[in-house]
Structure 1
Amino acid sequence: MKNNGLYITDVENGSIAEEIGIQPGDRLVAINKEPIRDVLDYRFLCANEEVLAKIVTASGEEWEIEIEKDYEDDLGLDFGEHSFGPIRRCHNRCLFCFVDQMAPSMRESLYIKDDDYRLSFWQGNFVSLTNVKDEELKRIIDQKLGPLYISVHTTNSELRCRMLNNRHAGKILEQLKMLAEAGIEMQTQVVLCPGINDGEELKRTIRDLALLWPQVHSLAVVPVGVTKYREGLYSLRTFTETEAQGVIDLIEDYQNKFMSLWDYPFVYASDEFYVMAGKPIPPTENYGDFPQTENGIGLARLFLDEWAEVEEELPNEIDDHRRITLVTGTSGETFLRLVTDRLNLIKGLTVELRVVQNNFFGNTVTVTGLLTAGDIIGALKGKEIGDLLVLPTVMLRNGEEVFLDDLRVSDVSEQLGVSVTVAEGPRDLVEIVLGLDEK
């Protein structure tokens, strides 16, 4: 297949590319005779002091341009949405796949299953490696594409093939060993399903991956998510409180062993397991360097640590009385109740915590980040909210004020007839509640 290179959408002002006449609309086809497949090739091949760039202009002319530059200098090209070309889709049919459990008639992007090792390196997406060929493993090694974020689920080859419904899934340990021997850093995860890959199978997975430490830097264990949209899918359930306690005990036992060996815990139970089990969140030192916060590992501890700092700075009273409503999902109640109880000791301030059930996905889904605007509106319509409604940013699409059901923060405000704002972390929340963000 002919390589068409990367379409250039923008050229940085004052850059090398601008000086030599490259323009938006041109294509970067090759560097140093090597074809450019995506932005990773561009970054890797640009890391030379002598660069031979092949350009096809918008008018169809072919240029070969010799460039001498400092090692760290970039050419100044941007490829926008074309940076990776077609995204590699998932070929698995995992029995626990959350996308398969999405509600109907949502935005199209929510049904897309990517499984692209390039996005794992670039954005931290978890991938299964089931669609990665040997030449692509070689590319990962040659271009040092780490850290990678890898969904392992189990190191039992036969079981992994069944869980992912993919006959190529059983090679995972072989692939991880190859990457580890090449020095590629990996963060791994297990989506734990009761009666399938827990118990002895989880022990086996932990032991196998620990043999690849420190290249396998961490292992996150997260509970399977089960929504009400599972008609025709594999029969799954969530963990009971007792089972969640057992998972935590198993993981903490391994943590203690690894701490004595490496002074690093390596394996972590997600915050959700601690909520399920009704157990306190472990201390800061149990989270190492917090390698997987975006996977729900240690976020509660970071929240509590920041709250402890902020709490020391709270005033005894405020000048003008303020009545605030704060929203959380079921799993966040324990931590937010601690905050609101303390804030209500401030004279002149009333903060009410509203725990909203997830009716959109079903009440087995408890994490705050999966609440929708519809859930919030349905729970609070006709209720006394006060001067301001505060929502956590985890409910919103990254960088936007849009919920999973495509409603916006402004829609919540309009439907409930109240001012609405969002808070990120305890310090931001306290500034909003006390009105400091308005001064």
Structure 2
Amino acid sequence: MKSLPKLKIINDPIYGFITIPTKLIFDLMEHKYFQRLRRISQMGFSYIVYPGAHHTRFHHALGAMFLMQKAVQVLKSKGVTISTEEEEALYAAIFLHDIGHGPFSHAMENSIVENVSHEQISLLFMESLNRKFNNGLTLAIHIFKDQYSRKFLHQLVSGQLDMDRLDYLKRDSFYTGVSEGTVNAQRLIAMLNVKDDALVVEEKGIYSVENFLIARRLMYWQVYLHKTGIVAEQLLVRLLKRAKQLTAEGVELPASEGLRFFLKNNISFDDFSDEVLNTFSKLDDYDIISAMKMWVSSSDFVLKNLSKMLLNRDLLKIKVKSQPFSLQKVAVKRNKISDVFKLSEEEASYFVFTGKMENQAYSMEKDTINLLKKNGKTVDVAKASDQLNLEALSKSVVKYYMCYPKNNIDSYQR
């Protein structure tokens, strides 16, 4: 593992100084694909609710890599053998795990590209960078894809107690000011060990795990699934779909070169050539913001008003309940806006729609968090905990929402 000729450190508001461990990681950080993450918000439109939530995927990647360094140090100190090649591969895998995110993080994969997840695009970026860096990422890719023989390495990158989750909970809690999401990441890492090639937590760390799972559940309800944030993200998804539809009909919309390409073309996973990937790498939050600022002057009622809503935070009203909304209730809301503005049913559906949100803090079915007891046996944390609500946290809670215009629909522009 080649070290840097000169120590490179970055000052992080969460952890203090973060050291860039190797030349490969430094070169990856300097690459334009990674630098793009400075322009991708970590939490999408959450800053509409929490004004401080302007941190980026770049911040998060650095933080997750820092925690991975701590995890490697802890495991090595407990006699777990990790080679220098495996160590660097772990750093690279966690460093690049989110590199495939599009503008505003999750909205892109539900609108402009055809059902392509950010994990799939991250893998494409990693494979492209692997060719550029003389196959230096081959082992990192195997770990990322869970194709390496030592399974606990993948669990550190992607699992129910991985470095990704530990960082984003702590970081998002800090930047939103939601203290309920605070987790003691370094205490949890200090309790990690490996048993039978699987990641485990030493028994005395049970209360830290409980706090982590409860914090995750609270962060989902209070932050990630906050109803105002849900409205904003859904409006953005619909805005991009409308722009794509208008472009397909021959309407020339002002947009950046990269955004125009994805508006004009239906791109599925199989279409992601190196050229398409390079075009995707030019997209960030600023493409969307600048496009919306131009689209508020559009002659299309839907595009104009969706853009205005997002730019001015004049959003739709949202109602949330435990049961799905009746089709009749949705139809009444749509008919009202259709009558007022002479819209088609399809156009009205951009302003009146339903959906659901799901919160499951812990899964007992796959890749469980296991405690290592003093007698050497392992047990699922939900079964070992004296907190009866941990098993309840493993149950998925689904809520349904309906979004529709507020009473002041006369503020909409024809």
Q: TM-score range by the shorter chain?
A: under 0.3
* Higher relative contact order (Cα pairs below 8 Å, separated by 6+ residues): 2
Q: TM-score, normalised by structure 1?
A: 0.24
More helix by share: 2
Q: TM-score, normalised by structure 2?
A: 0.25
Structure showing greater Rg: 1
